[in-house]
Amino acid sequence: MKNFILLILFSVFIFSCNNQKKEGYTSFKKQMEANKHPGKKLMEINCYVCHSPTASHDDRIAPPMVAIKKHYIDNKTTKEEFITSMQAWIKNPNKEDAKMFGAVKRFGVMPKTPYPEETIEQIADYMFDFDIEQPEWFEAHFNEMNVKGNGKGMGKGKGNGMHKQQVQTNFKDLPYGERGLKYALATKAVLGKNLMGTIQTKGTLEALAFCNEKAYPLTDSMALVHNAAIKRVSDKPRNPKNKANTEELAHINTFKQVVLNNKEASPIIKELENNVTVYYPITTNTMCLQCHGKPNETIETSTLTKIENLYPMDKAIGYNINEVRGIWSITFDK
């Protein structure tokens, strides 16, 4: 009898070990599939400036992407329905069609940026099929809000949607183009968070003062962090220091054509013997037009007056949404 019991316990132990190995392999395989999915990188490039998974609850300018997934997907939502909902929202973000009322009340409606449909489809496809990065505070916050609202308007999402992925920090292991892009996006996130936060809390005039006083120091601090030369240059600079040279003008024109054709831009890489320079476009959205749009249309008179006072040689106006306003130029050692 004793031997029989030992045999059963041994069998259970072997079965459990095999099950754990299988689950571990499946989880690893799923993570590898997620990392290779084009929507993951597109989401990091296009969404994380505002919807960062690393920002704290109080120090953010938009909800994290995992919150969007939880609000838009429940157990009955199909992938096609989710993609269609994302396409519709990005094409026309507005208060009336919003599903995240708390986010709109806190942050306002997101600025309109007409991304290519293929880009949105790939991002939505990735969000639907895979767990995505979440802030450390999110799960507790989500559960608390779900209890308060008795689950109303809080979708469960496909899968648990609550897995916290490791944030990629060792940029030096990345290919040159992706590495340069990470440096640009990290800098853009810092500038964007501060700029949009100022607009939301203090208004456009204060945001202009922020750009005038803080944009260069913040960019320089990020350059120091990444041990790279980080510049923003334009064919129509606001500050003469940001004027593009001949080579940079050619890259700006290349990116303009890409955006005009409604395509997703890829970094331009220039390799020299000891270093690499990576270029990536800076494009406009509706929020940009408050300071870079057309006078008396999207730029208010008071804003235009302050621009003229702060930047007497300004050329950075007259834009519409989704136009190339300049490029990032990121140089680092090989």
Q: What burial letters (b/e) apply to 133-154, b meaning 16+ CB within 10 Å?
A: bbbeebeeebeebeeeeeeeeb
Q: Tokens 């099950």: give the residue.
A: 19
pLDDT of residue 166: 40
pLDDT of residue 167: 43
Query: Do residues 176 and 146 lie in contact, with contact meaning Cβ atoms separated by under 8 Å?
Result: no
Q: 187-230 pLDDT, tens per residue?
A: 998 898 888 888 888 899 999 998 988 899 999 999 999 999 99
Q: For residue 166, give the nearest of 67, 28, 280 by alpha carbon.
A: 28
pLDDT of residue 283: 96
Strand order in the sheet with 229-233: 229-233, 324-333, 275-283, 268-271
Which residues have a Cβ under 8 Å from the Cβ of 179 and sit 6 or more positions away? 171, 172, 278, 332
Cα distance between residue 69 and residue 147, in whole Å: 18
Domain spans, the chain: 37-167, 175-333
pLDDT of residue 18: 52
Which tokens in the block code for residue 107?
Answer: 């942050």
> What is the residue-level pLDDT of the chain in tens, covering all 334 positions?
555 454 454 454 454 555 554 444 466 677 788 888 999 999 998 999 889 888 888 888 899 999 999 999 999 999 999 999 999 999 999 999 999 999 999 988 998 888 999 999 999 999 999 998 888 898 887 777 665 554 444 444 454 444 444 444 578 888 999 999 999 999 998 898 888 888 888 899 999 998 988 899 999 999 999 999 999 999 999 999 999 999 999 999 999 999 999 999 999 999 999 999 999 999 999 999 999 999 989 999 999 999 999 999 999 999 999 999 999 999 999 9
**Signed CA dihedral, 64, 179, 241, 260: sign only:** negative
Predicted TM-score of the model (pTM) = 0.77
pLDDT of residue 113: 87
Cα distance between residue 216 and residue 220, in whole Å: 6
Residue 170: what residue type?
Answer: N
Q: For residue 277, give the nearest of 287, 285, 286, 267 by alpha carbon.
A: 267
| Beta bridge partner(s), residue 233 | 327
